[in-house]
Structure formats: structure tokens, C-alpha cells
């Protein structure tokens, strides 16, 4: 624990951190100095994240491991692969990026994840979990084939290890016998609390019949052996074997050994001397090694130690008073002034979770599944209310989806709450296990659209890949009320897979929600939005999908303000809530009555909602060659990976903000 006064002193007066200009500078420090440096780093992380927001608990937990890695190994020659990559802050501070830390996760600032485009010390890019061991195996193969000499190190958490891909990679690594070092950072927790998982079986092992039974027998033998006239040598030997066998059997070691990876540990991850010693021990071995290090998420910052889940990610200016930003002008600590917390509306995640809770009594066979995103998606609340109907399966998207398929086949109504980018992990399961049999699995697709986290987390592909799957319905609500009603309707009908996508943002019209009231909607019937700025017919039709309905309204407002809203020029605005199936009746009417059409979506243009309209138009041309068609213009996310930064900036860059859309409308109607 540290207080503000210490922090200011260390930063300004006697800072070791100021002396670290590159990771090489770590190597000349003593253990005492490294310990002091660890403390300074923690202080700076807390202060910085109070400015920028970011992943707090995991970075506080990994300070000593990161220091030890740079102490023992030589980055960038040795390749250090951070799994997920959000625990890279210490690494960034040590590799010449400390100065830019106040730009963390800001547009054009430091990425919140590792990225080789940012530094040669970032050996790869990562934002999703469980990839590091596969990358390490690939890089080790390359190193050996190219006759290079360096270490390849995968730093993976116990949460990441629940991902099937990491297990595939360890299995393969054991088979190959390549020189790869895996550091298992075991904090017994992924984003939510871990499920299954290697870290858990130290607990479980003691409860299994086999071990109880064997142990009991061993105790009986020991009692008898104690009385038997054995010589000292033999007694020493027996003790030695018992100790070694016990150490192997009572840690996860034996599983890794069985898979061909040598195991050592567990090591106290906050004892820097112990961590350095453990790394030095395996440094020169040229076979697969795993060092098991136990850490505590949030280490050194009391609130995060006590509730690491809450402090997994923090917003700017949300931390406790005693740790606020010091005044740079004055060596004296400045009393913390609490930032006025904006009274936020509900997010779509919260609306979705609340709807699940309200629907639970009506839909007795509904169950909810989440792959380690219970907190982020808000469904943790459902889990608390209905624990027996809630399944957090750890970082196992594939298993989550196929398990849901099994449930649906057996009569349940599973709702899979999952982020758009993470559903990419289960594409095959969606096709092979859910869609072919047309099973009623509902996908609540959170973070669909642009998010501040950057390239790895942009939820822009879901419409394109889900729309190509037969039997799927792909929906997006315009607001909180529609989200609730879509979920209600999908559960009620339960006639096949339904995806409901919603963005990471505050929900529109959340204040109008009436608890416990749901209305069935026919989502294949689109809705005409009537406002002062749109009409029921016109030369121009705007088909807006999901989050873009509200943006469309704002855009029309801007135009109307300029044009004084002369009635004939008003376009028709459609809430095209289903990109599959399309509302063919409405499209037929619109194709006859409008000259131009704009589609709006917060997703990649290639294969997206707008494309669905183009495909429909092409089909219609075939059936009805004489019918004149409107010109169709599609707005959405361009064919590029979108960087990190505030969502409104990203939307603006893609021309998906109200002003850009208004400008576009003006251009094509000019």
C-alpha cells in the first residue's frame, strides 16, 4: 500500500523510474532497487489510469513479472508475447513509452494493447485471449528454421489457458519439443472469475475420490513404516520421493508434464528475487518450459486487491481520493477533488441484462451463457438473480455456442451473451451446430459496431458473416425498448437462431422503458420513423440499421434546420431492424416510390446490410426487369481495420456521424 506523499516523493525526488530510458536499464538494478521500482511503477499506473482509464488490476498484478522478464531476457531480440495484451502497461513504461502514457487509449495515442507497429518490443499484436502460445510455437519454428538464436516467451494468464486454442498449442508444443518458455501468470481469474481452468484443480484435486483414497492408504503405510526398523538412508529417501511426487501431483505440473512441457513452480509473483531466480533457472533450457507464477490482481492498490473484477478496467477520474494526480508545480500533495460523475443513462448491455432478468419468470426454459464476459456484458446481474440458469464458461466461445446448441436441441431456450468480435471465434459452431438444425439459440451481440479499443475489438464483421448463414435472423434495435421487445419476441417464437446486435454505448430511449412490459414485434416488418424531419413518402429513402436510426434522425434534423424543412424535400426514414430477413413488402413499395436510397449501418460495408439491399435489388431486376430501380448508396465502415479512440471520433472518420450523413444527403440530392 502506498500513500500519495510517498508517490510524489518517489516520482519527483528520488525516482528510479526516471532513470529507466530503455528496458536495458532494468538489468543493472539490485533486487532492492527493483523492489522500489516496482512500487514506483504501481504508483504511476494508478495515477495515469486515473487520467486516461484503462486496465488497472491486471497491470498492477504483473509488475514484478514484467520487470523480471526484462531483467533476465533481452527484448526485442528475445520475443515476449503478451497474451490478450491488455496487461502490457508496465512493459510499455519500460520500453521507452512512459512519456506517452497520458495518451493511453486516446485517439492517435498509445494503444491499450500490444502492437508491433508501436514498438519493436511488442513482438506481436493481441487483443483477444489465448493466442500467445500458438504465436510462440510459430516463432520458435521460424527461429530454428532460420538458424536464429533467441528465446520465445509466451506470457499467458490462467484465464487465457481456458481457451481451447491455448490448449491446442500446448499440446502441439509438447509434441514438437521446441525451445519455448511459457509464463503462466496465475491470478485465478480471467475477466470474470475463472471457470474450470487449470488454476482451479489445486482445489478440486483434494476432493476427488482417488486422492482421498490413495492419501488415506499412504497415511496407514506411513504409520506402520514409522514403527518399522528402517535405516536413516531409507527414511530420507522415502521422504524425498514423497515430497517430489506430492509437489508434482498437487500442482498443475503433472498435466503439463504429461503434455510434454516441463513444469516449475508455483512461484510467488510479487517476490521479484524469486521470479528472477525461476526465470534464470529455465533460461538456458532448450525444451518447452512452463513457469507457474502466482500473482494477485490489483496488487498494491487496496480497492483493486479487494475487488479485482470491478477494477479490471477503470474509467478516467474514477479512482479513490488518496491516489489522485499530484500537482506538478508543488511537491506537496494536493487534496483530491472528486470529478463530477455524469449521471449516465443505461447502456445497451444494462438494458439487455435487465430484460433477461424480467423475462426469466415468463420464459422458464431460458438460460443465459457467457464466455467470461459476465461483467462487461452486464449479464452478471442475471447470474446473481438466477444462478442455476446462468453459465459463465470461461474464455471458451466455441464451447459456449455448441453447448447452447445442445441445450436448444434438448428443449431449453439459450441466450448467448457475447461480444461481436469474440463471436468470430465460434463462426463454425454457429453454422455447424446451431444453424443447420435451425435451433432456437439467441445471440445477444454486444459491442457490435465501433469501440474505443481499436483494431482487435471492432465489432464490424458480424452482419456480413451471420447474414451468409442460412436460417439466421440478424436484427439490430433502434433503441432500448426495441432491444427488449426483440429479445422477448425471439424467445417467444423460438423458431431458429436469432442474432440481436447492439453497440457499446448508452441506450437510446432507455428512460422510456417500462419495467415488465414487453410487446411482440414482427422484426421482418420494418418501421417508418415519423418525425418533423422525415415523412411517410419521398424521393429519398434512408434505410437505417440499429444504432444508425438515431443518427439518421439527427442528420435529418441538421438538414431540416438548414432547409427550413420545406415539406416536399423530406426524405422517408426507415428503421430497417432486420438485415435478414429483409422486409420485402416495404422494399417493393419503396422501390416503386423512391428515386434514391441510402443505407446506414455501423458495420463493414463489404457484405453488410447495405449489400443485402443491393442483392435484393439484383434479384428483383431478374424477376421484374421492366421495373425502374432507385439508386442505392451504402454508408458504413470502410474496408479497413479501424484504430482505437473515442467512438464518436471513429464514427466521424467513417462518415457515420449526423453531420457527415447530412452532408452526404445534401450531395446526392443536390
DSSP symbol at 94: I
| H-helix or E-strand spanning residue 348 | helix 348-359
CA distance 423 to 125: 19
Closer of 93 and 450 to a copy of itself (Cβ): 450
User: Among the options 40, 188, 193, 397, which is catalytic?
Assistant: 397
- Nearest by Cα to 386 from 411, 418, 406, 364: 364
Question: Taking CB under 8 A as the rule, does residue 456 contact a copy of itself?
Answer: yes
Here the cell at position 401 is 455456442
Question: Taking CB under 8 A as the rule, does residue 362 contact a copy of itself?
Answer: no
- Nearest by Cα to 468 from 604, 665, 276: 604
Closer of 45 and 464 to a copy of itself (Cβ): 464
Nearest distance from C-beta of residue 323 to a copy of itself, angstroms: 34
Question: Taking CB under 8 A as the rule, does residue 595 contact a copy of itself?
Answer: no
Q: Segment contacting a copy of itself (CB under 8 A): 323-331, 426-434, 516-524, 563-571?
A: 426-434
User: Among the options 79, 425, 504, 580, which is catalytic?
Assistant: 425
Question: Taking CB under 8 A as the rule, does residue 668 contact a copy of itself?
Answer: yes
CA distance 190 to 316: 22
**Which residue of 1, 228, 328, 589 would you call a contact of a copy of itself, by CB under 8 A?**
228
Burial group, residue 432, by CB count within 10 angstroms (0-12, 13-18, 19+) = middle
6-18 burial: b if 16+ Cβ within 10 Å, else e = ebbbbbeeeebbe
Site string for a copy of itself, 327-356 (x = CB under 8 A): ------------------------------
CA distance 100 to 118: 11
**Which residue of 436, 531, 532, 561 would you call a contact of a copy of itself, by CB under 8 A?**
436
DSSP symbol at 107: T
Q: Segment contacting a copy of itself (CB under 8 A): 326-334, 453-461, 498-506, 651-659?
A: 453-461
Here the cell at position 652 is 466521424
# chain residues binding a copy of itself, by CB under 8 A: 143
Residues 365-384 contacting a copy of itself, CB under 8 A: 365, 367
Nearest distance from C-beta of residue 33 to a copy of itself, angstroms: 34
Closer of 321 and 470 to a copy of itself (Cβ): 470
CB 261 within 8 A of CB 182: yes
- 659 Cβ contact partners less than 8 Å away, ≥ 6 residues apart: 555, 558, 652
Q: Segment contacting a copy of itself (CB under 8 A): 25-33, 55-63, 423-431, 543-551?
A: 423-431
Nearest distance from C-beta of residue 417 to a copy of itself, angstroms: 16
Nearest distance from C-beta of residue 471 to a copy of itself, angstroms: 8
**Which residue of 11, 93, 123, 491 would you call a contact of a copy of itself, by CB under 8 A?**
123
Question: Taking CB under 8 A as the rule, does residue 360 contact a copy of itself?
Answer: no
**DSSP character string of 293-342:** EE--TTTT-HHHHH-TTTTSEE-TT-S-GGGPPPPSS-SS-----PPPPP
- 249 Cβ contact partners less than 8 Å away, ≥ 6 residues apart: 205, 211
- Nearest by Cα to 648 from 537, 559, 550: 550
Nearest distance from C-beta of residue 665 to a copy of itself, angstroms: 13
The H helix count followed by the E strand count for the chain is: 25, 19
**Which residue of 234, 302, 338, 362 would you call a contact of a copy of itself, by CB under 8 A?**
234
CA distance 157 to 173: 17
Question: Taking CB under 8 A as the rule, does residue 84 contact a copy of itself?
Answer: no
**Which residue of 100, 563, 640, 659 would you call a contact of a copy of itself, by CB under 8 A?**
640
User: Among the options 143, 178, 297, 299, which is catalytic?
Assistant: 297
Q: Segment contacting a copy of itself (CB under 8 A): 32-40, 231-239, 265-273, 652-660?
A: 231-239
Query: How many alpha carbons lie under 13 Å from residue 317 in its C-beta half-sphere?
Result: 7
Check the CA dihedral 525-369-191-394 and report its sign.
Answer: negative
- 284 Cβ contact partners less than 8 Å away, ≥ 6 residues apart: none
Closer of 303 and 636 to a copy of itself (Cβ): 636
Name the 3-class secondary structure at 453. Answer: coil
Burial group, residue 536, by CB count within 10 angstroms (0-12, 13-18, 19+) = exposed
Question: Taking CB under 8 A as the rule, does residue 125 contact a copy of itself?
Answer: yes
Counted residue by residue, the chain has a size of 670
CA distance 387 to 594: 52
CB 646 within 8 A of CB 452: yes
CA distance 391 to 335: 44
Here the cell at position 409 is 436441441
Question: Taking CB under 8 A as the rule, does residue 623 contact a copy of itself?
Answer: no
Asked about 620 being catalytic, the answer comes back as no
DSSP symbol at 507: P
Question: Taking CB under 8 A as the rule, does residue 361 contact a copy of itself?
Answer: no
Site string for a copy of itself, 573-592 (x = CB under 8 A): --------------------
Site string for a copy of itself, 457-496 (x = CB under 8 A): ----x--xx-xxxxx-------------------------
CA distance 307 to 316: 18
Residues 203-222 contacting a copy of itself, CB under 8 A: 204-205, 208-211, 213-214, 217-218, 220-221
**Which residue of 409, 492, 557, 647 would you call a contact of a copy of itself, by CB under 8 A?**
409
Nearest distance from C-beta of residue 517 to a copy of itself, angstroms: 27
- Nearest by Cα to 410 from 446, 391, 437, 392: 437
Reduced to 3 DSSP states, what percent helix, strand and coil does the chain have, rounded to the nearest 5?
45, 15, 40
Give Cα separations from 307 to 45, 299, 301, 321, 585 (angstroms).
17, 11, 10, 17, 53
Asked about 397 being catalytic, the answer comes back as yes
Question: Taking CB under 8 A as the rule, does residue 95 contact a copy of itself?
Answer: no
Q: Segment contacting a copy of itself (CB under 8 A): 327-335, 476-484, 553-561, 633-641?
A: 633-641
Question: Taking CB under 8 A as the rule, does residue 164 contact a copy of itself?
Answer: yes
Name the 3-class secondary structure at 459. Answer: strand
Question: Taking CB under 8 A as the rule, does residue 124 contact a copy of itself?
Answer: yes
**Which residue of 54, 112, 159, 174 would you call a contact of a copy of itself, by CB under 8 A?**
174
Asked about 413 being catalytic, the answer comes back as no
Residues 236-265 contacting a copy of itself, CB under 8 A: 237-238, 240-241, 244-245, 248-249, 252, 254-255, 257-260, 262
CA distance 69 to 241: 32
Closer of 364 and 514 to a copy of itself (Cβ): 364
Residues 62-81 contacting a copy of itself, CB under 8 A: 79
Question: Taking CB under 8 A as the rule, does residue 175 contact a copy of itself?
Answer: yes
Site string for a copy of itself, 596-615 (x = CB under 8 A): --------xxxxx-xxx-xx
Nearest distance from C-beta of residue 295 to a copy of itself, angstroms: 21
**Which residue of 196, 333, 345, 565 would you call a contact of a copy of itself, by CB under 8 A?**
196
Residues 130-159 contacting a copy of itself, CB under 8 A: 131, 134-139, 141-143, 145-146
Among all residues, which ones are annotated catalytic? Answer: 297, 397, 425
Amino acid at each position: 500500500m502506498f500513500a500519495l506523499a510517498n508517490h510524489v516523493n518517489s516520482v519527483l525526488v528520488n525516482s528510479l523510474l526516471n532513470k529507466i530510458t530503455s528496458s536495458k536499464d532494468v538489468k543493472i538494478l539490485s533486487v532492492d532497487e527493483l523492489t522500489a521500482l516496482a512500487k514506483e511503477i504501481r504508483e504511476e499506473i494508478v495515477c495515469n489510469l486515473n487520467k486516461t482509464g484503462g486496465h488497472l488490476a491486471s497491470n498492477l498484478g504483473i509488475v514484478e513479472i514484467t520487470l523480471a522478464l526484462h531483467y533476465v531476457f533481452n527484448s526485442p531480440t528475445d520475443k515476449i508475447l503478451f497474451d490478450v495484451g491488455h496487461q502490457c502497461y508496465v512493459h510499455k513504461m519500460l520500453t521507452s513509452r512512459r512519456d506517452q502514457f497520458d495518451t493511453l487509449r486516446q485517439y492517435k495515442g498509445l494503444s491499450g494493447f500490444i502492437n508491433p507497429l508501436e514498438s519493436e518490443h511488442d513482438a506481436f499484436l493481441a487483443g483477444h485471449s489465448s493466442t500467445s502460445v500458438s504465436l510462440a510455437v510459430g516463432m520458435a519454428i521460424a527461429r530454428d528454421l532460420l538458424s536464429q538464436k533467441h528465446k520465445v516467451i509466451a506470457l499467458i494468464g490462467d484465464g487465457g489457458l481456458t481457451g481451447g486454442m491455448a490448449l491446442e498449442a500446448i499440446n502441439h508444443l509438447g509434441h514438437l519439443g521446441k525451445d519455448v518458455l511459457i509464463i503462466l501468470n496465475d491470478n485465478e481469474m480471467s475477466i470474470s472469475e475463472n471457470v474450470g481452468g487449470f488454476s482451479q484443480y489445486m482445489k478440486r484435486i483434494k476432493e476427488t475420490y482417488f486422492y482421498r483414497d490413495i492419501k488415506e492408504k499412504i497415511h496407514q503405510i506411513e504409520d506402520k513404516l514409522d514403527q518399522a526398523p528402517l535405516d536413516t538412508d531409507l527414511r530420507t529417501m522415502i521422504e524425498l520421493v514423497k515430497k517430489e511426487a506430492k509437489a508434482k501431483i498437487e500442482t498443475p505440473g503433472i498435466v503439463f508434464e504429461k503434455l510434454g512441457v516441463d513444469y516449475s513452480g508455483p512461484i510467488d509473483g510479487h517476490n521479484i528475487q524469486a521470479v528472477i531466480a525461476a526465470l534464470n533457472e529455465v533460461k538456458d533450457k532448450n525444451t518447452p518450459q512452463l513457469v507457474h507464477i502466482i500473482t494477485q490482481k490489483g496488487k498494491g492498490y487496496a480497492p483493486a486487491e479487494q475487488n479485482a473484477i470491478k477494477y479490471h478496467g477503470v474509467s478516467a477520474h474514477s479512482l479513490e481520493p488518496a491516489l489522485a494526480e499530484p500537482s506538478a508545480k508543488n511537491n506537496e500533495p494536493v487534496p483530491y477533488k472528486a470529478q463530477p460523475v455524469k449521471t449516465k443513462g443505461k447502456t445497451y448491455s444494462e438494458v439487455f441484462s435487465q430484460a433477461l432478468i424480467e423475462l426469466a419468470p415468463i420464459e422458464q426454459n431460458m438460460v443465459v451463457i457467457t464466455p467470461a464476459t459476465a461483467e462487461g456484458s452486464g449479464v452478471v446481474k442475471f447470474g446473481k438473480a438466477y444462478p442455476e440458469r446462468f453459465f459463465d464458461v470461461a474464455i471458451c466461445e466455441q464451447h459456449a455456442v455448441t453447448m447452447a446448441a445442445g441445450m436448444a436441441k434438448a428443449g431449453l431456450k439459450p441466450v448467448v451473451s457475447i461480444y461481436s468480435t469474440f463471436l468470430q471465434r465460434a463462426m463454425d459452431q454457429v453454422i455447424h451446430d446451431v444453424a443447420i438444425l435451425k435451433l432456437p439459440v439467441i445471440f445477444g451481440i454486444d459491442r457490435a459496431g465501433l469501440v474505443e479499443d481499436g483494431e482487435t475489438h471492432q465489432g464490424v464483421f458480424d452482419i456480413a458473416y451471420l447474414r451468409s448463414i442460412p436460417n439466421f435472423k440478424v436484427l439490430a434495435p433502434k433503441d432500448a425498448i426495441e432491444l427488449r421487445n426483440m429479445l422477448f419476441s425471439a424467445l417467444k417464437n423460438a423458431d431458429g437462431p436469432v442474432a440481436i446486435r447492439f453497440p457499446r454505448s448508452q441506450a437510446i430511449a432507455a428512460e422510456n422503458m417500462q419495467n415488465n412490459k414487453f410487446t411482440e414485434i414482427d422484426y421482418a416488418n420494418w418501421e417508418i420513423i415519423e418525425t418533423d424531419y422525415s415523412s411517410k413518402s419521398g424521393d429519398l429513402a434512408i434505410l437505417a440499421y440499429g444504432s444508425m436510426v438515431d443518427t439518421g434522425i439527427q442528420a435529418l434534423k441538421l438538414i431540416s434546420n438548414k432547409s427550413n424543412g420545406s415539406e416536399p424535400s423530406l426524405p422517408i426514414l426507415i428503421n430497417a431492424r432486420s438485415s435478414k430477413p429483409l422486409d420485402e413488402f416495404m422494399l417493393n413499395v419503396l422501390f416503386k416510390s423512391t428515386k434514391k436510397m441510402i443505407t446506414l449501418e455501423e458495420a463493414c460495408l463489404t457484405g453488410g446490410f447495405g449489400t443485402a439491399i443491393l442483392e435484393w435489388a439484383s434479384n428483383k431486376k431478374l424477376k421484374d426487369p421492366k421495373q425502374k430501380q432507385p439508386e442505392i448508396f451504402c454508408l458504413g465502415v470502410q474496408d479497413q481495420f479501424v484504430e482505437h479512440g473515442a467512438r464518436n471520433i471513429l464514427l466521424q472518420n467513417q462518415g457515420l456521424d449526423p453531420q457527415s450523413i447530412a452532408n452526404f444527403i445534401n450531395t446526392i440530392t443536390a
